[in-house]
Amino acid sequence: MNSKLSNIIAVDGLAATGKGTIARRLAAHLGYAYLDTGLLYRAVGLSVIVSGGDPFDPAAAIPAAQKLDPAALDALMDDPRLRSDVGGQAASKVGAIQGVRDALFQFQRNFALNPPDSKAGAVLDGRDIGTVIAPDAMVKIYVEATPEIRARRRFLELQSRGENVTESAVLEDLQTRDARDVSRSVVPAKPAEDAIHLDTTNLTIDEAVAAAIRIVEDRQKARS
Ligand code: DC
């Protein structure tokens, strides 16, 4: 087996399931590189909005995705709009356009196969990592939680950042985004057939990370 192909870990799931924290901490634990692919879609969505365009419009979104320099993404990380719900909605809209997904494919695939800093592997989180970006991943984890608990977590996170939101508005926002991500005709968000489901509804984040580490270690043991 090609050793590079075997060191990709796909962590997929809907918004606020905990997949980002799980993927980031999994990567740190394993010494692997980590890529939050949602940030790519968020950066494209925001750049469309900032230039006065409509994120649903392929004529605005596709060139924005083609122009995106993922290597310069670090500079965007400090922009609070990137992680805001406005950024999430814009990302979800541009993510429904095939030309946007095509433009972002190669960077993600490359990252998975050739992790930066000569890391031994890569953890990617998103919606289509196990199905499209890395169908050959060593482990695919699909993270789930009820909409209510996801809204509660996201609400507390936004509140701690000083954003003025209500929990019911956060739930509504999540449900709109879920519906769009799951029902879009282009690469709808769904678990890979061989994904292991990890339900975090009744887990603390530490318990969820520990469960993900166990899943990966079991797979590594089974391979050796
Ligand atoms: O993971 P996130 O919440 O930051 O993602 C924001 C939006 O981007 C999500 O609602 C759908 C889109 N997205 C996608 O279509 N494919 C990915 N691999 C990652 C995100």
Write phi, then psi, for 47 (nearest 5 degrees).
-65, -30
Task: Reply yes or no on whether the pLDDT at 3 is more than 50.
Answer: no
pLDDT in tens, 163-211: 889 999 999 999 999 999 999 999 998 999 999 999 999 999 999 999 9
**pLDDT value at position 30?**
97
Ligand 1 binding pocket mutation candidate from 41, 109, 128, 184 (most atoms within 8 A of CB):
41
**pLDDT value at position 218?**
94
Q: How far is CA 64 from CA 29, 43, 60, 216, in A?
A: 34, 9, 6, 36
Strand ranges inside 116-155, DSSP E = 122-126, 139-144
Eight-class DSSP state of 195: P
Q: Which of ligand 1's atoms lies nearest the C-alpha of 128?
A: 18
Ligand 1 binding pocket mutation candidate from 37, 185, 190 (most atoms within 8 A of CB):
37
pLDDT in tens, 131-140: 999 999 999 9
Q: Which of ligand 1's atoms lies nearest the C-alpha of 89?
A: 10
Question: pLDDT band at 145, cuts 50/70/90?
Answer: very high
Residue closest via CA to ligand 1's atom 5 equals 38
Task: Reply yes or no on whether the pLDDT at 6 is more than 80.
Answer: no
**Type of residue found at 184:** R
* CB 196, CB 217: distance < 8 Å: no
Output the CA 72–ligand 1 centroid distance in Å: 19
DSSP codes of every residue in 19-68: HHHHHHHHHHHHT-EEEETHHHHHHHHHHHHHTT--TT-HHHHHHHHHH-
Average pLDDT over residues 4-15: 85
Strand ranges inside the chain, DSSP E = 8-13, 33-36, 122-126, 139-144, 196-199
Output the CA 126–ligand 1 centroid distance in Å: 6
**pLDDT value at position 195?**
98
Structure tokens at 52: 């006065």
Q: Which of ligand 1's atoms lies nearest the C-alpha of 133?
A: 18
Write phi, then psi, for 169 (nearest 5 degrees).
-65, -35
pLDDT in tens, 17-69: 999 999 999 999 999 999 999 999 999 999 999 999 999 999 999 999 999 98
Q: How wide is the angle at C-alpha 69 spanned by C-alphas 64 and 75, nearest 5°?
A: 110
Q: What is the mean pLDDT of the chain?
A: 92
Structure tokens at 164: 């003025």
Is the CB of 94 within 6 Å of ligand 1? no
